[in-house]
Chains A and B, each alone.
Chain A
Amino acid sequence: MPGAAQLSIQAECTGSAEMALLRVQGLRKRFPVTSGVLRRRTGHIHAVDGVDFEIEVGESLGLVGESGCGKSTTGRMLACLDEPDEGRILLTEDDGSEVDIAQLDTRGMTRFRRRVQMIFQDPYESINPRRTVFETISESLGIHRMGGLRYREERVSQMLARVGLTPPESFMLRYPHELSGGQRQRVAVARALILQPQFVVADEPTSMLDMSIRASIMELMSGLARELGVAYLYITHDLAVARYMCDRIAVMYLGKIVETGRTEQILSDPAHPYTQALLSAVPIPDPSLPPPELRITGGVDKAIDPPPRCRFLDRCPQAVDICSTADHPPLQDTGGGRLVACYLTTDREG
Chain B
Amino acid sequence: MAEKLETASEVDQGPQTVGGIGGIGGGDGVAGVGGGTAAGGGAAGPVVTSYGSWWRIRLSLLRRSVHDNWVIFRRNRMGIAGLVIIGFWMLMAVMPSLFFATGFWNRAVYDPVTGLETDPPTRTVIMVERVTDPRTEIDRRAVLMDGRIPSDLGLGDTFELPLQPAPPNSRHWLGTDPLGRDVLSQLMHGARSSFFLGILAATVTVVIATLVGSVAAYYGGVIDSLLMRLADLLIMIPGLALLIVIGSVVTFQLWHLAMVIGILSGFGGTAVVLKSQALAVKVKPFVDAARVAGGTGRHIVLYHLIPSVMPLSVLYMMFTVTAAIQSEAVLSFLGLLNVDTSWGLMIQLAHTQGYLLQAGEFWWLVFPAGLAVTLLAMAFFLLGRGLDEVINPRLRRR
Contacts and interface: CB of A to CB of B under 8 A. Distances in A.
Contacts of A186: 9
A164 B51 contact: no
B13 A183 contact: yes
B4 A177 contact: no
Contacts of B54: 149
Given A129-B29, A164-B5, A177-B34, A143 B299 contact: yes
A117 B292 contact: yes
Contact of A169 (B47, B293, B294): B47
Contacts of B15: 180
A178 B35 contact: yes
A227 B284 CA distance: 31
Contacts, number: 152
A76 B285 CA distance: 11
Given A170-B42, A219-B4, A139 B290 contact: yes
Contacts of A140: 293-294
Contacts of A180: 12-13, 15-16, 19
Nearest to B53: A149
B286 interface: yes
A220 B5 contact: yes
A130 B290 CA distance: 14
Given A177-B30, A177-B32, A216 B25 contact: no
Nearest to B35: A178
Interface string A123-139: 01111111010100001
B57 A130 contact: no
Interface stretch (B200-208, B303-311, B377-385): B303-311
B45 A118 contact: no
B27 A122 contact: no
Nearest to A220: B8
A114 interface: yes
Contact of A81 (B16, B34, B291): B291
B70 to A, nearest CB: 16
Contacts of A172: 47-48
Contact of B294 (A144, A150, A213, A216): A144
A23 interface: no
Nearest to A117: B292
A79 B7 CA distance: 32
Nearest to A138: B293
B307 A130 contact: yes
Tell me if A's interface is mostly helix, strand, loop or mixed: helix
A178 B292 contact: no
Interface string A182-199: 110010100110010000
Given A216-B8, A216-B11, A169 B48 contact: yes
A166 B285 CA distance: 26
Contact of A176 (B29, B291, B299): B29
B295 interface: yes
Nearest to B37: A178
B49 interface: yes
Nearest to B16: A180
Interface string B1-45: 100111111011101100110000111111010110011001001
Given A164-B9, A170-B47, A223 B4 contact: yes
Given A129-B29, A153-B51, A172-B47, 15 more contacts: A110-B294, A118-B292, A120-B285, A126-B288, A128-B290, A139-B290, A143-B293, A173-B61, A174-B38, A177-B26, A177-B30, A177-B35, A178-B34, A216-B7, A216-B9
19 contacts: A125-B284, A126-B288, A130-B29, A132-B61, A143-B295, A143-B299, A157-B48, A170-B42, A176-B27, A177-B32, A178-B19, A180-B12, A180-B19, A182-B12, A183-B12, A183-B13, A212-B12, A223-B1, A227-B1
Interface of A: 76, 79-81, 110, 113-114, 116-118, 120-122, 124-130, 132, 134, 139-140, 143-144, 149-150, 153, 157, 162, 164-166, 169-170, 172-183, 186, 188, 191-192, 195, 212-213, 215-217, 219-220, 223, 226-227
